[in-house]
Structure 1
Amino acid sequence: MPSQKPRILHDYKDLFLSLIPLVLIAVVFAGLASQCSFAATGPTEGRIPHFDVAAALGSDARTLDFPIRNPELPADWTPNSGSRETITAAGGGPVSTVGYVTGAGTYMRLTQSSATEQQLSRFVLGSRYATGTVDVGGEKWAVYSQPTEETAWVTDLGGVRVLITGAGNDAAFRTLAGAVTAAQPLQP
């Protein structure tokens, strides 16, 4: 009499029982690699990555051909990211972007470029169009707003177009817009 049942008699219970050791092995390896954790009370807020915004924007001011501003933001705003790209279309140019996590935990992004407003907005926002304007500190900002997309504000500060976007509320947008317009361009 054979010691194993015929293959045709195998069912989902047999499949499930054969997968248990594989799942346990995967969990052990993930745990050893510190790639997973367990929290009985649910997810916890992670650490915000450190990003030296002063060094990044200082470098951009030295290497890019337009004025770069480093806004003075509230102490509970934490810079967490940055990048530099180039818009290659006509009317484009280099783009400097830094991101912040606000005190309320929302993400806001500041983009500065020598590109035209149209090229910058197409590069960052896609095919959206301005839906209105708002005045902050005497500066007029074009508002790009759609129900299913993040809001964005764009202004021209003479030689540089500034675009801010993010998940923040109106107060977060006004805080960032006011800080950018109040900031003096960094010296190269």
Structure 2
Amino acid sequence: MFTNTRDLIISLGVLLVVMFFSVGFTGMCSFNPGSADKSGPVQEVDIDTILKTDARGLGIPVRLPAFPDNWEANSGRRTMVDNEPSSKAGWVIDGEAFLALTQTVAELKDAVNDEDGEYREETDTFVVPASKSSTGEDVTWQIWSGDDVKQIWAVDLGDVRLLISGTATQAQYRTMAEAVTKAEPLETGAASSTPGVPTPTE
């Protein structure tokens, strides 16, 4: 009953100061002003090993694209796309932009819709000429767009569907599309027992 507003403010101030110094001395926190993508170096991953392991483990034709030196692989994992085991990897470009590549056997439209649940429709296409394609034919990527959602580029290569998504320029999207289309499928492993994953031929 003898405590007023001034006493409460002083008590809270002292408590905050004690917490600041106590937590600061542990070294378990840091303050990095600015946007997240510029707060520190990119944590690189061994994308070659990750994608080769995915190809053998999933039994699907995973591709390992070659990118310029300013593209740094920072993530790689197995994921589920429309209930199908799939591979997803990401690259940071110039320490700022980001693009992810999903490789799956799910149907193309289902894979696009499964990305984040947002509505998109096909708005444009991008053709990779036969001279830059491992298939020896022109490859047409579908560009899916929507209101306030990230763009998705997708293509159906018959035995696998490829999706590109992220925060990058159109030129960077094109670079990834061309690199992935040019890459040969990696060697797959033994036949998978997972429904929906094709069995590799001998």
Q: TM-score, normalised by structure 1?
A: 0.85
Amino acid of the structure 1 residue aligned with 2:85: P
Match of 2:123 among 132, 152, 156: 132
- Amino acid of the residue matched to residue 9 of structure 2? F
1:115 maps onto 2:112 in alignment = no
3-state SS of the aligned residue for 1:131?
Answer: strand
Kindly, what percent of the aligned residue pairs are identical?
Answer: 32
Give the superposed CA RMSD: 1.9
Following superposition, the deviation at residue 122 of structure 1 comes to 1.8
Q: For residues 75 and 176 of structure 1, what CA distance do their matches in structure 2 show?
A: 13
What is the Cα deviation at residue 38 of structure 1? 5.0
State the alpha-carbon separation in 2 of the partners of residues 32 and 115 from structure 1.
Answer: 50
Please report how far the alpha carbon of residue 19 of structure 1 lies from its aligned counterpart in structure 2 after TM superposition.
1.1
State the partner residue of 1:68: 62
Query: Counterparts in 2 of 1:42-81, with a 5 A limit?
Result: 42-43=33-34, 45-81=39-75
Alignment partner for residue 27 of structure 1, among 17, 20, 28? 20
Count residues in correspondence: 176
CA contact (8 A) 1:150 1:166 kept: yes
Q: Which amino acid aligns with 1:47?
A: P
Shift of 1:11: 2.5
In the alignment, what sits opposite 2:97? 106
List 4+ stretches of structure 1 deviating above 3 A.
Answer: 35-39
Bigger radius of gyration, 1 or 2?
Answer: 1
- Which sections of structure 1, spanning at least 5 residues, go unmatched? 1-6
Conserved? CA contact 1:128–1:144, under 8 Å: no
1:28, 1:136 → 2: CA distance?
Answer: 58
Instruction: Answer yes or no: is 1:184 the counterpart of 2:184.
Output: yes
Name the counterpart of 2:145. 145
**Separation (CA, whole Å) in 2 of partners of 1:84 and 1:29:** 40
Verify the 8 A CA contact 1:130 1:142 in the aligned structure 2.
no
In structure 2, the gaps of 5 or more residues are 130-138, 189-202
